[in-house]
Amino acid sequence: MSKSRFGLIAYIAFVLIPIYWLLNMSFKTNEEILGGLSLFPADITFDNYIKIFTDPSWYMGYVNSISYVTLNMVISLLVALPAAYAFSRYKFIGDKHMFFWLLSNRMAPPAVFLLPFFQLYSSVGLFDTHIAVALAHCLFNVPLAVWILEGFMSGVPREIDETAYIDGYSFPKFFIKIFIPMIRSGIGVTAFFCFMFSWVELLFARTLTSVDAKPIAAVMTRTVSASGIDWGVLAAAGVLTIIPGMLVIWFVRNHVAKGFALGRV
């Protein structure tokens, strides 16, 4: 037993040490970072964080990212819920093809869509808005959301639907009052995945924005200037991008195990 404990601890150390290194650096001044290697900051400085929290062009990056991620989460769930229900309950013309076509969008390399997206969203006047990025991220999040939700919904026995209809429930009323509460954890997990993939994506978010909706990931490239890289601020900004993810995973921790199987175990 202790041998397996050791293996696990070694793996977790492998996961955490690079992150610790980033954290360590974010509390150092640039002189100390470039001066030599040290496992702990010699004298802890919060200047890097203060710089980010007092400069609107920095902290607005976080606000922008969170705005489009939230929008994307809401849109994805709203359209995916009815569709997943249809896929899990009914047979209809072209259902299998539709499902594979949806999944094929999850496989589409973002680089393929980069230029057309830029032109599409520019021509409809959505360039540099949060909604543009949110819609672009739907390309891979909606198929995933349908996939996960379909798995969870198939786990709910049909008899429940039938009983509800016999009891006189209309479809919308049944769906909202009975069905959605039953797959609560599935919805939480789906939201988590949508958050995750939208939050970590950079290519679309960077291409579709310039000033007003610029995501934090793109703002971070500012630390590279003619005078070199501002390592301390870069590290601090990196640490701050990890925090929202950790909060989200904390909220869904009890469903994570089930959710990662996408309802399919």
Partner 1 sequence: MNKVENNKAWFLVLPVFLLVAFSAIIPLMTVVNYSVQDIFDQNTRYFVGTEWFRQMLFDTRLHEALLRQFMYSFSVLLIEVPLGIGVALLMPTKGKGASLALILIAIPLLIPWNVVGTIWQIFGRADIGLFGWAINNIGIDYNYAGDPVDAWLTVLLMDVWHWTPLIALLCYSGLRAIPEVYYQAARIDRASRWAVFRYIQLPKLTNVLIIGVLLRFMDSFMIYTEPFVLTGGGPGNSTTFLSQSLTKMAVGQFDLGPAAAFSIIYFLIVLLVCWLFYTTIMHISRDDR
Using CB under 8 A as the binding rule, the residues of this chain from 78 to 117 that contact partner 1 are 78-80, 82-83, 85-87, 89-93, 95, 98, 102, 104-117
Residues 234-263 that bind partner 1 (CB under 8 A): 234-235, 238, 241-242, 244-246, 248-250, 253-254, 256-262
Report which secondary-structure segment, H or E, holds 224. Answer: strand 224-225
If one counts every other C-beta atom within 10 angstroms of the C-beta of residue 23, the result is 16
Position 173 contacts partner 1 (CB under 8 A): no
Position 19 contacts partner 1 (CB under 8 A): yes
Q: Closest CB to partner 1 among 51 and 106?
A: 106
Residues near 22 by beta carbon (within 8 Å), at least 6 away in sequence: 235, 238, 239
Tell me which of 119, 122, 163, 210 binds partner 1, using CB under 8 A. Answer: 119
Q: Closest CB to partner 1 among 43 and 92?
A: 92
Position 122 contacts partner 1 (CB under 8 A): no
Tell me which of 61, 62, 73, 143 binds partner 1, using CB under 8 A. Answer: 143
User: Are the C-beta atoms of residues 114 and 203 closer than 8 Å to each other?
Assistant: yes
Position 63 contacts partner 1 (CB under 8 A): no
User: Are the C-beta atoms of residues 61 and 241 closer than 8 Å to each other?
Assistant: no
Position 37 contacts partner 1 (CB under 8 A): yes
Q: What is the largest CA-CA distance in the chain?
A: 75
User: Are the C-beta atoms of residues 102 and 146 closer than 8 Å to each other?
Assistant: yes
Position 131 contacts partner 1 (CB under 8 A): no
Tell me which of 59, 188, 196, 222 binds partner 1, using CB under 8 A. Answer: 196
Position 52 contacts partner 1 (CB under 8 A): no
Position 232 contacts partner 1 (CB under 8 A): no
Cα–Cα distances in angstroms (integers) from residue 125 to residues 118, 131, 181, in the given order: 11, 11, 38
Nearest approach, Cβ of residue 200 and partner 1 (Å): 5
Size of the site for partner 1 (CB under 8 A): 92
Residue 115 to residue 112: CA distance in whole angstroms = 8
Residue 57 to residue 55: CA distance in whole angstroms = 6
